[in-house]
Amino acid sequence: MDLGRIIDISMELNEKTVVWKEDDPPKLEPVARIPDAPVNFTWLHFGSHAGTHIDAPFYLYKDGWTTDQIPLERLMGRCQVLDLTGIEDTITAADLKDHEINREKVLLKTKNSYDLLIAYNPRHVVMDESAARYLVEQGVTTLGYDYQSFEREGRNDIHRIFLSKGITIIDNLRLKDAEQKEYHLICLPLKVTGIDGAPARAILIDEEEHG
Ligand SMILES: [Zn+2]
């Protein structure tokens, strides 16, 4: 199958992965290693929101969809990358109105995609309520972002605007190599059931570029 150029927009998940500042870092425990053991085998210990992951409505709503209940159509298909890298601090509705939003799946590329990810950056780019409400009004059903959260200090006000509407959130994307245009998105979260978040591999396929 001639797919086009593939851009991996996932974060590396290892013991150095920057996670929410109050979470333990991921631990990849080498339970067995060759030659002392017949195989290499590793236990994975990390939170449901470590690295690139999806947020399910269950994160904030006990009767909301859990990760496994999110329809895969939400995570695959045409998407639009908006270049917001000119914004230093907070994305507002006015910033978004400079762009024409015509897809239900929208990924926001900010300066966060250029963060070196050495430590949690408490001043990462965020969005305000006006921006969130504008995205809802535009009919966005899947929203990708390039940091752990759209808001600071563990607040969930912006999350509530999206998750109360059942909008699917993909966090911790790495969009440095993506341009402002349309791509085909494939984001497949692990099928962990009954919980609030799940690690995912996310890629963009540039259908204009066939190698
Ligand atoms: Zn999350």
Ligand 1 centroid to 4 CA: how many Å? 29
Domain for residue 43, yes or no? no
Q: Let me know if residue 33 belongs to a domain.
A: no
Å from CA of 49 to ligand 1 middle: 5
In a domain? residue 36: no
pLDDT in tens, 5-47: 999 999 999 999 999 988 999 999 999 999 999 999 999 999 9
The verdict on residue 90 lying in a domain is yes
For residue 78, the model assigns a pLDDT of 98
* Tally of structural domains, the chain: 1
Ligand 1 midpoint to CA 54 (Å): 6
State the distance from the centre of ligand 1 to the C-alpha of 36, rounded, in angstroms: 38
Residue 159 inside a domain? The answer is: yes
> Could you list the residue range(s) of the whole structural domain that residue 115 is in?
5-11+49-206
pLDDT attached to residue 4: 87
As a whole number, the mean pLDDT across the chain is: 96
Which of 45, 54, 51, 49 lies closest to 11 in space, CA to CA?
51
- The answer to whether position 194 is within a domain reads yes
Q: What is the domain-level CATH number for residue 59? A: 3.50.30.50
pTM of the predicted structure, to 2 decimals: 0.96
Distance of CA 90 from the midpoint of ligand 1 (Å) = 19
Specify whether the backbone of 207 is left (phi greater than 0), alpha (psi in -120 to 50) or beta.
alpha
